[in-house]
């Protein structure tokens, strides 16, 4: 019996039992669509996180206070908590031969007020180097003055959202903005930047780092950011910064990691999570396989006389076995194709519902889902096919009368 004959016979059997076949196809389609949707969401999340880290700036080396252990490149916050200081950042900028920009950073939340309007904002304490490495420009005015980071001033650069909400969109340059109990003169307004790692950069106020530390009554920095002169120099820059700070502190009581290592670590975590979710969805296809098997068992019982006629005409056991397995595969294949369409349709809907986190469907996800569905059809089609092939011809013809 030729392959074309087997497929034609399977399609004919599927058409003859449309209701049962539709139920089996529906189960397979839901399983395949789930695999595609979950993998697409995971890949979309991984791409989103990668883009967010890229927005931090290229060739970035980050120093955080306290000695921590690392696994897979991702720092685990904990351990000792010795502070980083502005003098540490100043020493790196003065002594490092490979660092292009060095920015001490302080961070906190405060209430900002102007002319009776108030708003809770994120206050970033930084230097002019911070604007350079984060590729941040001002729409009007100027950035922070290029002065010694150990000197503070009560000036502020505000985001566009702060300008809109507190100054009603008017020109805020030269006006006094109250942050907490302190007064700041607005010297610049940032161009729109959007969200970076969960922080809305349009809803921030950037002030000199020492001023921010005094505003929040802190002795240490939140981070020290260093940008290497070239990507190839990142590891050398990291080692150089480690040596400078170890010489200053007498021990390695800080943690240094690179933007690439952090992005890679998060990417690995999300990739593993994506595969796990896809695997869970693939397991659900086993339920669809049980449905296929039940449909095939009923089909075998209803087609006993047909099986007896095949055997009377000389059909061999292997041919009957192959015919019923082909029928199971056809049912699974139809379900897989419907599932792919449903999965891609679901992705299209998600792109419009959550455009900030669009799902990404890799080709391997579609091929894997179809492959698993077809494998399920083969595995769960074997038992009904063996039962059909084992029926004696005489018994089959007698029962079919």
Check: CB of residue 47 under 8 Å from CB of residue 182.
no
Could you identify the residue written with the tokens 């296929």?
292
Strands 204-208 and 223-228: unpaired
pLDDT in tens, 292-318: 777 776 666 666 666 666 666 666 767
pLDDT in tens, 176-215: 999 999 999 999 999 988 776 567 889 999 999 999 999 9
CA distance 180 to 214: 12
Which pLDDT score is estimated for 73?
45
> Which is more confidently placed, 98 or 1?
98
> Which is more confidently placed, 213 or 398?
213
CA distance 129 to 387: 76
> Which is more confidently placed, 39 or 390?
39
pLDDT in tens, 107-151: 999 999 998 899 999 999 999 999 988 888 999 999 998 877 777
Q: How is residue 172 annotated by DSSP?
A: -
Q: How is residue 232 annotated by DSSP?
A: G
Check: CB of residue 125 under 8 Å from CB of residue 210.
yes
Q: Output phi, psi for 217, to 5 deg.
A: 55, 55
pLDDT in tens, 84-94: 999 999 899 88
Q: Is the pLDDT of residue 386 over 80?
A: no
Q: What is the pTM of this model?
A: 0.59
CA angle 286, 290, 294 (to 5 degrees): 165
Separation in Å, CA 109 to CA 30, 119, 272: 46, 11, 34
Burial 153-190 (b: 16+ CB within 10 A, else e): ebbbbbbbbbbebbbeeeebeeeebbbeebebebbbbb
- Give mean pLDDT, residues 239-264: 82
Which pLDDT score is estimated for 77?
42
Q: Compute the mean pLDDT over every residue in the chain, rounded to the nearest whole number.
A: 79
Q: Is the pLDDT of residue 75 over 50?
A: no
pLDDT in tens, 6-54: 567 667 666 666 777 787 788 888 888 888 888 888 888 777 766 655 5
CA distance 213 to 89: 14
Which pLDDT score is estimated for 56?
53
Separation in Å, CA 251 to CA 171, 254, 334: 49, 9, 65
CA distance 215 to 208: 11
Which pLDDT score is estimated for 57?
54
Q: By percentage, how much of the chain surpasses pLDDT 70?
A: 75
Q: Is the pLDDT of residue 278 over 90?
A: no
- Give mean pLDDT, residues 152-173: 92
Which pLDDT score is estimated for 51?
64
Q: Is the pLDDT of residue 76 over 50?
A: no
């Amino acid at each position: 019996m030729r392959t074309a004959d087997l497929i034609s016979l399977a399609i004919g059997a599927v058409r003859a039992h449309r209701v049962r076949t539709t139920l089996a196809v529906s189960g397979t389609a839901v399983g395949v669509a789930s695999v595609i949707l979950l993998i697409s969401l995971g890949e979309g999340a991984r791409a989103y996180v990668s883009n967010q880290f890229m927005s931090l700036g290229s060739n970035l080396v980050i120093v955080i206070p306290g000695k921590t252990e690392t696994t897979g490149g991702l720092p685990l916050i904990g351990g000792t908590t010795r502070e980083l200081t502005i003098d540490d950042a100043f020493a790196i900028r003065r002594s490092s031969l490979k660092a292009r920009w060095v920015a001490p950073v302080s961070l906190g939340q405060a209430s900002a007020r102007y002319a009776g309007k108030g708003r809770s904002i994120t206050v970033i304490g930084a230097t002019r180097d911070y604007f350079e490495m984060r590729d941040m420009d001002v729409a009007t005015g100027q950035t922070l003055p290029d002065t010694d980071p150990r000197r503070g001033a009560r000036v502020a650069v505000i985001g566009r959202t702060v300008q809109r909400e507190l100054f009603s969109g008017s020109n805020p340059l030269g006006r006094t903005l109250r942050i907490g109990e302190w007064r700041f003169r607005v010297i610049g307004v940032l161009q729109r930047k959007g969200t970076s790692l969960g922080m809305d950069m349009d809803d921030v106020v950037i002030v000199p780092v020492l001023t921010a530390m005094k505003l929040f009554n802190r002795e240490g920095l939140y981070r020290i950011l260093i940008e290497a002169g070239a990507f190839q120099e990142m590891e050398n820059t990291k080692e150089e910064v480690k040596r400078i700070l170890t010489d200053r502190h007498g021990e390695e009581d800080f943690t240094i990691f690179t933007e690439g290592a952090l992005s890679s670590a998060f990417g690995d975590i999300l990739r593993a999570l994506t595969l796990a979710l896809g695997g869970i969805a693939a397991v659900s296809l086993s339920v669809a396989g049980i449905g296929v098997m039940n449909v095939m068992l009923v089909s075998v019982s209803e087609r006993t006389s047909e099986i007896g006629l095949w055997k009377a005409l000389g059909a061999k056991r292997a041919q009957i076995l192959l015919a019923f397995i082909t029928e199971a595969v056809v049912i699974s294949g139809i379900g897989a194709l419907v599932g792919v369409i449903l999965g891609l349709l679901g992705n299209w809907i998600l792109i419009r519902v959550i455009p900030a986190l669009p799902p990404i469907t890799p080709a391997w996800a579609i091929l894997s889902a179809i492959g698993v569905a077809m494998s399920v059809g083969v595995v769960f089609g074997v038992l009904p096919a063996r039962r059909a092939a084992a029926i004696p011809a005489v018994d089959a013809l007698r029962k079919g009368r």
